[in-house]
Amino acid sequence: MSKALLIIDIQNDYFQGGKCELVNPKEASLKAKVLLEHFRKNSMPIFHIQHINLRQGATYLLPNTLGVEIDENVKPLEHEIRIEKNFPNSFLETNLEWELEKLHVKELVICGMMSHMCIDSTTRAAFDLGFDCTVAHDACATKDLIFSDKRINAHEVHHAFMSALGTIFAKVVSVEEILK
């Protein structure tokens, strides 16, 4: 069974000074970098997912901006596959599934941004498509959210989404556990 790494949306707008700052994006990107180096060293497939926000009224990850660029910590090498997407689900209207099938990938290691949005929707979609998923929880980041006039801090948001994914959709573990 072939295993691949999906690095989802680790892009400049999510970092300090970006248009949609997350909580601890640098720390998450450095953990993702550890996974990336492991997959490179072991010649395993790597997919860099880049969100290009075309939604009406969008304010971040806009085409042709510095913010849409993939962060230096996980910059793709020339031969690594880059998938551009326009929706939270990395499979929706992309060739990701086809590229994975072409390489006979059955197992995905998923990391990136944002835990509550693209990590969640991509992991659930991958599960529905029959992939075995592992989410590296410490290589993901999110932000505070507002619901019913209450601020939910990023730590709680992240843990809620990781616990939900871990119920059936994925094995949710640390980068260290993945590398064992």
pLDDT digits (tens, 9 = 90+) for 106-119: 999 999 999 999 99
What values do phi and psi take at 107, rounded to 5? -125, 135
CA separation for the pair 59, 178 (Å, rounded):
35
Which of 20, 85, 120, 138 does the annotation list as catalytic? 85
The answer to whether residue 26 is catalytic is no
Domain of residue 169, CATH code: 3.40.50.850
Position 157 in a domain: yes
Instruction: Give first-to-last CA distance, the chain, whole Å.
Output: 18
Which of 111, 118, 133, 140 does the annotation list as catalytic? 118
Question: Token pair 């060739």 is at which residue?
Answer: 95
Mean pLDDT of 127-146: 98
Position 13 in a domain: no
The answer to whether residue 9 is catalytic is yes
What tens digit of pLDDT does each residue of 7-30 get? 999 999 999 999 999 999 999 999
Residues of the domain holding 117? 2-7+21-47+89-179
Which of 9, 71, 120, 138 does the annotation list as catalytic? 9
Position 125 in a domain: yes
Position 134 in a domain: yes
- The reported pLDDT for the residue numbered 1 is 61
Position 36 in a domain: yes
What tens digit of pLDDT does each residue of 29-54 get? 999 999 999 999 999 999 999 999 99
Model confidence, pTM: 0.97
Say whether pLDDT at 59 is over 80.
yes
Mean pLDDT of 161-165: 98
Mean pLDDT of 62-74: 98
Residues 6 or more apart whose CB falls under 8 angstroms from that of 153 comprise 23, 144
Three-state secondary structure readout of the chain: CEEEEEEECCEHHHCCCCCCCCECHHHHHHHHHHHHHHHHHCCCCEEEEEECCCCCCCCCCCCCCHHHCECHHHCCCCCCEEEEECCCCCCCCCCHHHHHHHCCEEEEEEEEECHHHHHHHHHHHHHHCCCEEEEEEEEEEECCEEECCEEECHHHHHHHHHHHHHHHCCEEECHHHHHC
Position 165 in a domain: yes
The answer to whether residue 85 is catalytic is yes
- The reported pLDDT for the residue numbered 64 is 97
Q: Sheet containing 81-85: which strands, arranged edge to edge? A: 81-85, 46-51, 2-8, 105-113, 132-141, 171-173
| Number of domains, the chain | 1
Position 120 in a domain: yes
Position 79 in a domain: no
At residue 60 the predicted structure's pLDDT band, cuts being 50, 70 and 90, is very high
